[in-house]
Amino acid sequence: GDSVTQMEGPVTLSEEAFLTINCTYTATGYPSLFWYVQYPGEGLQLLLKATKADDKGSNKGFEATYRKETTSFHLEKGSVQVSDSAVYFCALSYHTGRRALTFGSGTRLQVQP
Amino acid sequence: GAGVSQSPRYKVAKRGQDVALRCDPISGHVSLFWYQQALGQGPEFLTYFQNEAQLDKSGLPSDRFFAERPEGSVSTLKIQRTQQEDSAVYLCASSSGTGGTNEKLFFGSGTQLSVL
């Protein structure tokens, strides 16, 4: 079956540091890949997505590239802010057939001023 | 409404009690999903509705779990004879279309269920 593996947290960085959160996946088909973010006290929100190999998703300074050869979708940001502190989830789903998202276990990011 | 609304926000149940969790999706949204999120884990899929039809219930962990969406809007997740392992946050999400990856999925803040 499908699965998503993320690096364990928490990840603690100083403001303006470079961020990488690793995500790899196992899939039976050709999924779309997502990063969702959960800020404290709020619901999950879509951060970015990529629907096919070599696509790059980007939003709010975050980027991730769909790498089919390495089955990876690592999240990066060049300069984090305190307001980026949250839990980040990598996920996959399919455009047709089963519509459910398969999530990783989440990575908590703490950014210190 | 402005977003997906879930109630109650918190629920404490004694082991063996039945509970009902409510989800009000965004008005007019066709697709509705339920997920279960254990502490420190990612959400896990429970079930999916397209209007009033329950098209996928493959994630329901046991026959104690039951979901309905009788009029294609509000949905209720019912858990019978709750067990401690049912303690989790239950998330509801909705989208305007048939759940494809090009649609934006809106999540509620969840119901935190604690079974004592």
> Which residues of chain B does A49 touch, with a Cβ-Cβ cutoff of 8 Å?
101
The one-character DSSP state at B84 is G
Cβ–Cβ gap B100/A89 under 8 Å: no
B61: preceding bond cis by omega (within 30 degrees): no
pLDDT at position B1, please?
52
Measured CA to CA, the distance from residue A25 to residue A95 in angstroms comes to: 17
Closest residue on chain A to B48 (Cα): A100
- Tell me whether B93 touches chain A (CB under 8 Å): yes
Which of A51, A89, A106 is closest, CB to CB, to B101? A51
pLDDT beyond 70 at A32: yes
Give the tens place of pLDDT for each residue, B2-55: 799 999 999 999 999 999 999 999 999 999 999 999 998 999 999 999 999 999
Q: How confident is the model at residue A33 (pLDDT cuts 50, 70, 90)?
A: very high
Q: Tell me which chain A residues have a C-beta less than 8 angstroms from the C-beta of B35.
A: 101
